[in-house]
Amino acid sequence: MCGVSEPRLSVGLRQAGPIPLDVEFGCDAGQVLAIFGPSGSGKTTILRSIAGLYRPDHATVRSNGVAWTDTASGTFVPPHQRAVGFVFQEYALFPHLTAEGNVTAALGHLPHADRRSRADQLLRSVRLHEKANRRPQELSGGERQRVALARALAREPAVLLLDEPFAAVDRHVRRGLQDEVNALRRTLDLPMILVTHDFDDVVRLATHVLLLERGRAVACGPMTTLMSRPDLAWLREAVGLGAVFEATVRGSTNHGLMLLGFDAGTLLAADRRLPTGTTVRVRIPAREVILATHRPEGLSLHNVLVGRVSAVHRDPGIDPVIVQVEVGRLLLLAEVTQDAIDRLRLAPGTPVHALVKSVSIDVVTTDSGLGARDSVTTT
Amino acid sequence: MGGWRDPLLCVLALVVSADLSDARQAKRAPMVAAAANLSMALTEVAAAFEREHGSRVELVFGASGSLTRQIQDGAPFELFLAADEEFPGRLTGAGLTRDAGIVYATGRLVIFAPAGSPLKPDAQLENLGRLVKTGMVGRFAIANPDVAPYGRAAEAVLRKHGLWEALRSNLVIGDSITQAAQFAATGNAVGALIAHSLALTPELASRGTYALIPDDDYPPLRQRMVLLKRAGPQAQQFYDFVQGGAAKLILTKHGFSVPD
Amino acid sequence: MDFVALRVSLWLGAGTILILLPFGLWLGRLLALKQFRGKLFLEALLTVPLVLPPTALGFYLLVTFGARSPLGQAFQAVVGHSLPFSFQGLLVASAIANIPFVVQPIQRGFEAIPSDVRDAASCCGLTPWQRFTRIEVPLAWPSILTAAILTFAHTLGEFGVVLMVGGNLPGQTRTLSIAIYDRMQAFDDRSAGVMAATLLVLALATLMTTTALSRRVGVRRV
């Protein structure tokens, strides 16, 4: 089981075919579980199973303690009776209804009199209330996505499901939408499950990750833990390994750098003009980390972290090797050649310095929503 | 979306209830099936009937055989005026009629040719024979011998004169005697063997000429009528009227001979 | 112009639509959404009335429902008259003859609705009936209308089946197309001409409408 015990949403799916599935996971309120995997790995099927649109041979889906699906006892709640907010890959908006009409369609649980104002409120929350009377054909891709989001939320769902929500959208629009989703996570108290084949989404949005390959969970766990695992060859090939963790902005220097504090020390990264105290999510690619047995001198880089080798992972036939380094509670990853490992005699327990260039520290998200962005959120 | 049973029941209900005639069931004019050669004559008789008795009959014309078939299949006719005796006989045999009915008229066969046709009608069909021999004959129309008694008679005449085999490939078969007449009248055939009653109608009389075929050349066209079992009083009234003096006058005018 | 015949024709067209539309909606949608064994055979079977000569259809109907058949006699016992040679008989014959005109367009109409739009409707909390009435039918309506219009037009033009199953009974089964034939036989070309022209105009109107509607089918994908 991946996740907390007694999570708001717990899912177990198993079948041999036609779409092979073998997963078991949970997602709690406020968590964003990213299901990441290549096309055809069964990601969408999992989402559809949670919504009740697909019925695997063996399945249990429980939300807030209520069984939505339980093949063992023959329970099956039809999709229209599940409080599921589903944002489809191509939004699946109703072409014959306006944006307002689309949102209102999901407000059947409210008395007639209240529907109009609630729809209005929802459209406002995604900043589309001025286009409430437009049909989907008259809206841009990003606008349609926001209508889809508003419609999904109109249901007052117990779980929010997003199927490749940014796949159909331009890169520059994607950032804005990702920020919206992040903001949602903070305001709603829902389990959110996000299916994607784009690792950028994972890094920016997920609190937990489930790596899926041909219907099976290759790995599952909190984002930071997963990203600090040295052995995920699959991930390494797909996106490259590197620790992802949260840090706090402590201030900026007058040399265009900012101080980021984490539990075991501070890092200097390129300044982003963020207010002090902002929580940021940070990624340090393993490729960018150099290890040294002694504290070096005269080097241009700014970050020297003191730690201890906690694991050395060799994938047969692949060089370099991944070394996991413990720095306080942070687990950094470094790509090191076998030759270097032999030379430096690196082994679990060896004290070591991890060297990171300031420019290698990738600030992936900030806590303050739009924050200090140069690009205006356009769609 | 529900099972298949509900829609089926609705459909059945609709079908059973959709009866256009329901509202007027009680007072509807009785349906009378009549041989096609009576189309003019019987219409006149019906008009006279309406004038005298104030009630209408609904006339439906067709080939006797077709009408017989329809009646066997349940067509709601109350009276059937055939062009022969054999077809009504079948109905009587099947127990569908009140009785064996009565011969109301005897018809005659004529050979007709439209104006401008190379065929000049003559009673012995000599001109026709000449046309056939010289290979100049175009299409020749008769009614379908299987369903029209006049067609049967036409075949008999042609066989008698040894023209049946020769004409076979040139024959145009009408599904009723009126259709055969039409073929000729519109110039689509050089001539036709049709009912005398039809040749006397204004439509045909104005379009061509005819010659009476001698009675001996074909089995007599005794035309019998029968009341069907379901016949009501109005149909009965009309049945009687057709045998009355007024009707006989009209029938004679149209070339029929009537029983005394 | 034989107004009684016109009335019979119009009632026949309307009645056929009334019977077939619900049936077509149910079956067309089923065929659009479900896969099952024998589906191909069923689809072929539903197309048979299109290729079967009307006289063959008429023949089978007479044999099955005529006064000499058990079914026909049962009908007669219940309703009081035979099924052939009555308006109801025409309705039955017309309904069977028009099945392909109803089922196929409606099937295409529902097939054109993307499946995730239907799924989205469910996820919005719409019951299957609400999904049908508020989402599917509004999106498929051009096809449904096409089905109705095609059926109506085809019914007006029916001859062979009507003649065989209905006979030529004025006020009941003498439709406009039969009346044309009837008038021609009586050398009344003028009446026949007027009625034929009427049918021609109706046919043109139908074709124009269905062509315009067919442009709207399948343009709904967003």
Question: The CATH number of the domain where C8 resides is what?
Answer: 1.10.3720.10
Q: Which pLDDT belongs to residue A6?
A: 75
Tell me: do B240 and B142 sit in the same domain: no
**Residue after which a domain boundary falls, among A185, A208, A229:** A229
Tell me: do B46 and B126 sit in the same domain: no
Tell me: do A266 and A205 sit in the same domain: no
Residue C130 lies in a domain: no
In chain C, residues with a C-beta closer than 8 Å to the C-beta of B28 are 171
Rounded distance, CA C33 to CA A323, Å? Answer: 54
Domain interval for residue A273: 242-366
Q: Which pLDDT belongs to residue A351?
A: 93
Residues in chain C, total: 222
Q: Does A53 touch chain C (CB under 8 A)?
A: yes
Residue B14: closest CA among chain C residues belongs to which residue? C19
Tokens linked to A281: 């999510």
The predicted-structure confidence for A313-349, as pLDDT tens digits, reads as follows: 887 777 788 899 999 888 899 999 888 999 999 999 9
Residue C136 lies in a domain: no
Tell me: do A207 and A67 sit in the same domain: yes
Residue A67 lies in a domain: yes
CB B156 within 8 A of CB B86: no
Is B73 within 8 Å of C85 when comparing Cβ atoms?
Answer: yes
Name the strands in the sheet holding A279-285, side by side, starting at the edge strand that comes first in the sequence.
A265-270, A257-262, A242-252, A279-285, A362-366
Q: Do C and A make contact, counting contact as 3+ CB pairs within 8 angstroms?
A: yes
Tell me: do A251 and A192 sit in the same domain: no
Q: Which pLDDT belongs to residue C206?
A: 82
Domain interval for residue C100: 3-114+141-214
At A234, the pLDDT band (50, 70, 90 cuts) reads low
Q: Which pLDDT belongs to residue B7?
A: 53
Residue A1 lies in a domain: no
Rounded distance, CA A378 to CA B232, Å? Answer: 86
Backbone region of residue A296 per phi and psi (left: phi > 0; alpha: psi in -120 to 50; beta: other values):
beta
The predicted-structure confidence for C127-168, as pLDDT tens digits, reads as follows: 999 999 999 999 999 899 989 998 998 998 899 889 888 888
Compute the average pLDDT of residues A32-61. Answer: 90
Tell me: do B128 and B81 sit in the same domain: no
Residue A235 lies in a domain: no
**Residue after which a domain boundary falls, among A174, A194, A229:** A229
Residue C175 lies in a domain: yes
**pLDDT over 60 (residue A22):** yes
Q: Which pLDDT belongs to residue B3?
A: 46
Residue B260 lies in a domain: no
Which candidate from A52, A93, A108 shows the least CB-CB separation from C222?
A: A93
**pLDDT over 50 (residue A371):** no
Q: Which pLDDT belongs to residue A379?
A: 30
Q: pLDDT tens per residue, chain B (260 residues)? A: 444 455 555 555 555 555 544 444 445 789 999 999 998 899 999 999 999 999 999 999 999 999 999 999 889 999 999 999 999 999 999 999 999 999 999 999 999 999 988 899 999 999 998 888 888 768 899 999 988 999 999 999 999 999 999 888 889 999 899 999 999 998 889 999 999 999 999 889 999 999 999 999 999 999 999 999 999 999 999 999 999 999 999 999 999 999 87
Q: How far apart are the first and last CA of chain C?
A: 49
Residue B179 lies in a domain: yes
Q: Supply the mean pLDDT for chain A.
A: 85
Sign of the Cα torsion B242, B246, B248, B252 reads: negative
Tell me: do B78 and B21 sit in the same domain: yes
Q: Which pLDDT belongs to residue B23?
A: 41
CA of C128, closest CA in chain B: separation in Å? 7
Residue A359 lies in a domain: yes
For C9-61, give the DSSP string. Answer: HHHHHHHHHHHHHHHHHHHHHHHHH---TTHHHHHHHHHHHHHS-HHHHHHHH
Q: What are phi and psi of B26, to 5 degrees?
A: -65, -40
Residue C126 lies in a domain: no
Q: What is the CATH number of the domain that holds A309?
A: 2.40.50.100
At C189, the pLDDT band (50, 70, 90 cuts) reads confident
Element (H, E) at B33: strand B31-35
Q: Which pLDDT belongs to residue C211?
A: 83
pTM above 0.80, yes or no: no
Tokens linked to B114: 């439209």
Tokens linked to A314: 């060799």
Bridge partners for A259 per DSSP: A251, A268
Q: What is the CATH number of the domain that holds B91?
A: 3.40.190.10
Is C124 within 8 Å of A151 when comparing Cβ atoms?
Answer: yes
Q: Does B58 touch chain C (CB under 8 A)?
A: yes
Residues 6+ apart with CB under 8 A from A60: A10, A11, A12, A67, A69, A70, A71, A72
The predicted-structure confidence for A64-88, as pLDDT tens digits, reads as follows: 889 999 999 999 999 999 999 999 9
Residue C123 lies in a domain: no
CB B83 within 8 A of CB B107: yes
Chain C residues at the A interface, defined by Cβ less than 8 Å, are 114, 116-117, 119-128, 130-131, 134-135, 138-139, 220-222
Q: Does A93 touch chain C (CB under 8 A)?
A: yes
Element (H, E) at A151: helix A141-154
Tell me: do B115 and B137 sit in the same domain: yes
Backbone region of residue A174 per phi and psi (left: phi > 0; alpha: psi in -120 to 50; beta: other values):
alpha
Q: What is the DSSP letter of A28?
A: -
Name the strands in the sheet holding B208-212, side by side, starting at the edge strand that comes first in the sequence.
B171-174, B140-143, B191-195, B109-114, B208-212
Residues 6+ apart with CB under 8 A from A142: A169, A170, A173, A176, A177, A379
Residue C26 lies in a domain: yes
Tell me: do A63 and A181 sit in the same domain: yes
Q: Which pLDDT belongs to residue B16?
A: 54
Residue B139 lies in a domain: yes
Q: Which tops the pLDDT comparison, A263 or C123?
A: C123
Residues in chain A, total: 379
Tell me: do A166 and A83 sit in the same domain: yes
Against chain C, the chains showing at least 3 CB pairs within 8 Å are A, B
- Cα–Cα distances in angstroms (integers) from residue A209 to residues A26, A29, A104, B213, C154, in the given order: 11, 15, 33, 104, 60
Is B74 within 8 Å of C76 when comparing Cβ atoms?
Answer: yes
**pLDDT over 70 (residue A370):** no
Residues 6+ apart with CB under 8 A from A284: A242, A243, A332, A333, A356, A360, A361, A362
Is C19 within 8 Å of B74 when comparing Cβ atoms?
Answer: no
**How many domains is chain C partitioned into structurally?**
1
Q: What is the DSSP letter of C136?
A: I
Rounded distance, CA A49 to CA A79, Å? Answer: 10
The predicted-structure confidence for C45-93, as pLDDT tens digits, reads as follows: 999 988 988 889 888 988 888 878 888 888 888 887 788 888 988 999 9
Against chain B, the chains showing at least 3 CB pairs within 8 Å are C
In chain A, residues with a C-beta closer than 8 Å to the C-beta of C116 are 88-90, 92
Q: Which pLDDT belongs to residue C180?
A: 92
Compute the average pLDDT of residues C90-97. Answer: 92
Tell me: do A199 and A120 sit in the same domain: yes
Q: Which pLDDT belongs to residue C221?
A: 46
Tell me: do A144 and A281 sit in the same domain: no
**How many domains is chain B partitioned into structurally?**
2
Tell me: do B86 and B64 sit in the same domain: yes
In chain C, residues with a C-beta closer than 8 Å to the C-beta of B1 are 26, 29-30, 128-129, 132
Residue C188 lies in a domain: yes
Residue C220 lies in a domain: no
Q: What is the CATH number of the domain that holds A186?
A: 3.40.50.300
Tell me: do B210 and B227 sit in the same domain: no
The predicted-structure confidence for A203-224, as pLDDT tens digits, reads as follows: 888 889 998 888 888 888 888 8
Tell me: do A120 and A201 sit in the same domain: yes
**Alpha-helical regions (H) of chain B:** 5-17, 39-53, 64-72, 86-93, 126-133, 149-160, 164-167, 177-185, 196-199, 202-205, 233-242, 245-253
Rounded distance, CA B32 to CA B228, Å? Answer: 10
The predicted-structure confidence for A97-110, as pLDDT tens digits, reads as follows: 999 999 999 998 89
At A293, the pLDDT band (50, 70, 90 cuts) reads very high
Is C67 within 8 Å of B20 when comparing Cβ atoms?
Answer: no
- What type of residue sits at position A195? V
Is B73 within 8 Å of C84 when comparing Cβ atoms?
Answer: yes
Residue B258 lies in a domain: no
* SS3 of A246-286: EEEEEEECCCCEEEEEECCEEEEEECCCCCCCCEEEEEEEH
**How many domains is chain A partitioned into structurally?**
2
Q: Does A92 touch chain C (CB under 8 A)?
A: yes
Residue B245 lies in a domain: yes
Rounded distance, CA C190 to CA C184, Å? Answer: 9
Residue A217 lies in a domain: yes
Tell me: do A225 and A250 sit in the same domain: no
Residue A19 lies in a domain: yes
Residue C91: closest CA among chain B residues belongs to which residue? B15
Tell me: do A158 and A109 sit in the same domain: yes
Domain interval for residue B208: 107-217
Tokens linked to A234: 């699959």
Tell me: do A292 and A252 sit in the same domain: yes
Which candidate from C8, C26, C67 shows the least CB-CB separation from B74?
A: C67
Residue B259 lies in a domain: no
Tell me: do A175 and A251 sit in the same domain: no
